[in-house]
């Protein structure tokens, strides 16, 4: 073993994602093989601040049987940036006289806690916000290897993240269940999937489930075209499936409001837009009737629309084999980086992130990852001219845009 790394800390931050436990397991197994100890830090960065007894050694026994489990045995948090930690009081968050949150910086305490625990380097598993802090800890002299995760698959610095495959599989299963009830009642079924401002989950789900229409944030839809397209599908098939990415806009401004999570790096939370769109579509389809008063036909006199949100079911539960494999590769590679490639830069720092480039595992500089993406608001989104969008169009999945 080179570089004197004898004890590695590991934590998971941000929203959870199927495959996190497989990463933890791979880290522990690989480190053990090389005689290196792993210390689990629970509750994301909050655990780093708590320190002491909250840090605990992870053994091979501790990680038995977790590869197939969703969630994370280390727990997670997506609003505990210790560099900008919202101050709390009895009422919740503390605000200044202008109503702005008051922040403290506890990063020095966290680094001291790592030193006190004899941790030589950190493996930080997380998305945008978590890895930005990871970069900041590496600047404070803590060697860091980041492991990227998100079901949204929208990080610019890696071609693929684990969790995405499971999320898509879960959404496709949901479509299959919803489809039969939609057929039974001759309804238009809207299925809402996650992804924030990126439509990857929706697009992959639509193609893999053979949906009729897909609405993604990258390709604005026209409401009238959506209604006309669904009318055509109903006339032909008597039912229709619409996949809705949670980040699309409703037909009318103000018809739907998102949730704001104070203290979170990207405070906007989506969820529920499909129900609003379904109601608008139902009204429009029934508003336009023939001389008999039928919305579509004598069978489909009135059209009903229903919305289902796959929600957190797509983020939890058993990871697919592909995600377990990718997570295991990421975890083992992160340890390898620390044991074989830990070379300090001219400032005495080390910060890398595991990445897939041209289908191969490699590592990239955390500094560059964060600088190039400026993270929030600069995600890798669906290319409207890309191969998958063209494929969807070729198999007659409509984006209701043309």
Q: For ligand F6P, which residue has the nearest CB?
A: 194
Nearest C-alpha neighbor of 81 from the set 148, 119, 143, 137: 137
Minimum distance, C-beta of residue 311 to ligand F6P, in the bound complex (Å): 9
CA-to-CA distance for 240 and 176, rounded, in angstroms?
Answer: 12
CB nearer ligand F6P, residue 269 or residue 289: 269
Residues 6+ positions from 80 with CB-CB distance below 8 Å: 13, 43, 44, 45, 46, 49
Residues making contact with ligand F6P (CB under 6 A): 15, 78, 150-152, 194-196, 246, 269-270, 315
- What Rg do the C-alpha atoms of the chain give, in angstroms? 24
Minimum distance, C-beta of residue 108 to ligand F6P, in the bound complex (Å): 28
Minimum distance, C-beta of residue 37 to ligand F6P, in the bound complex (Å): 31
Minimum distance, C-beta of residue 286 to ligand F6P, in the bound complex (Å): 31
CB nearer ligand F6P, residue 316 or residue 384: 316
CB nearer ligand F6P, residue 262 or residue 288: 262
Nearest C-alpha neighbor of 21 from the set 88, 90, 67: 67
Residues 6+ positions from 353 with CB-CB distance below 8 Å: 131, 134, 145, 146, 147, 148, 157, 158, 363, 364, 365, 366, 369
CB nearer ligand F6P, residue 87 or residue 269: 269
Is the distance from CB of 194 to CB of 314 less than 8 angstroms? yes
CA-to-CA distance for 87 and 96, rounded, in angstroms?
Answer: 10
Does 128 qualify as catalytic in the annotation?
Answer: no
Nearest C-alpha neighbor of 110 from the set 43, 50, 49: 49
Residues 6+ positions from 381 with CB-CB distance below 8 Å: 154, 197, 198, 199, 200, 217, 218
CA-to-CA distance for 261 and 263, rounded, in angstroms?
Answer: 6
CB nearer ligand F6P, residue 15 or residue 148: 15
Minimum distance, C-beta of residue 182 to ligand F6P, in the bound complex (Å): 24
Nearest C-alpha neighbor of 230 from the set 298, 308, 295: 295
CB nearer ligand F6P, residue 313 or residue 343: 313
Nearest C-alpha neighbor of 118 from the set 3, 9, 24: 9
CB nearer ligand F6P, residue 196 or residue 381: 196
CB nearer ligand F6P, residue 216 or residue 296: 216
Residue 216: strand pairing partners: 219
In Å, how far are 69, 158, 166, 176, 318 from 204, measured between CA atoms?
Answer: 23, 18, 12, 14, 19
Minimum distance, C-beta of residue 15 to ligand F6P, in the bound complex (Å): 4
Minimum distance, C-beta of residue 196 to ligand F6P, in the bound complex (Å): 5
Return the SS3 of 115: helix
Residue 67: how many CB atoms within 10 A of its CB? Answer: 19
CA-to-CA distance for 154 and 111, rounded, in angstroms?
Answer: 30
Of residues 152, 154, 212, 323, which has the active-site annotation? 152
Minimum distance, C-beta of residue 171 to ligand F6P, in the bound complex (Å): 11
Q: What are the catalytic residues? A: 152
């Amino acid at each position: 073993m080179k570089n004197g790394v004898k004890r590695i800390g590991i934590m998971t931050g941000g929203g959870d994602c199927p495959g996190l436990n497989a990463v933890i397991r791979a880290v522990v197994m690989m480190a053990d093989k090389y005689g290196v100890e792993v210390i689990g830090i629970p509750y994301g960065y909050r655990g780093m601040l708590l320190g002491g007894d909250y840090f605990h050694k992870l053994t091979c026994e501790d990680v038995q049987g977790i590869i197939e489990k969703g969630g994370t045995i280390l727990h997670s948090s997506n609003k505990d940036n210790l560099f900008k930690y919202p101050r709390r009081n009895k009422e919740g968050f503390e605000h200044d006289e202008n109503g702005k949150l008051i922040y403290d910086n506890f990063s020095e305490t966290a680094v001291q806690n790592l030193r006190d625990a004899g941790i030589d380097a950190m493996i930080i598993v997380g998305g945008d916000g978590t890895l930005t802090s990871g970069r900041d800890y590496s600047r404070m002299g803590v060697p860091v290897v980041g492991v990227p995760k998100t079901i949204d698959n929208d990080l610019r610095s890696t071609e693929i993240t684990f969790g995405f495959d499971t999320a898509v599989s879960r959404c496709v299963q949901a479509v299959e269940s919803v489809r039969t009830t939609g057929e039974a009642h001759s309804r238009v079924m809207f299925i809402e999937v996650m992804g924030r401002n990126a439509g990857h989950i929706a697009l992959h789900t639509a193609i893999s489930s053979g949906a009729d229409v897909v609405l993604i944030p990258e390709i604005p839809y026209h409401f009238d075209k959506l209604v006309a397209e669904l009318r055509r599908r109903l006339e032909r098939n008597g039912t229709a499936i619409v996949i809705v990415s949670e980040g699309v806009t409703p037909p009318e401004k103000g018809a739907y409001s998102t949730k704001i999570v104070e203290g979170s790096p990207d405070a906007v939370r989506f969820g529920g837009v499909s129900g609003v769109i379904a109601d608008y579509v139902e009204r429009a389809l029934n508003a336009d009737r023939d001389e008999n008063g039928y919305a579509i036909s004598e069978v489909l006199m009135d059209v009903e629309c229903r919305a289902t949100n796959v929600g957190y079911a797509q983020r939890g539960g058993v990871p697919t084999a592909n995600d377990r494999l990718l997570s295991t590769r990421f975890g083992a590679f992160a340890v390898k980086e620390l044991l074989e490639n830990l070379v300090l830069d001219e400032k005495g720092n080390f910060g890398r992130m595991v990445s897939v480039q041209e289908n191969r595992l490699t590592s990239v500089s955390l500094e560059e990852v964060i600088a190039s993406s400026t993270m929030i608001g600069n995600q890798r989104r669906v290319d409207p001219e890309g191969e998958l969008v063209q494929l969807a169009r070729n198999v007659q999945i409509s984006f209701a845009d043309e």
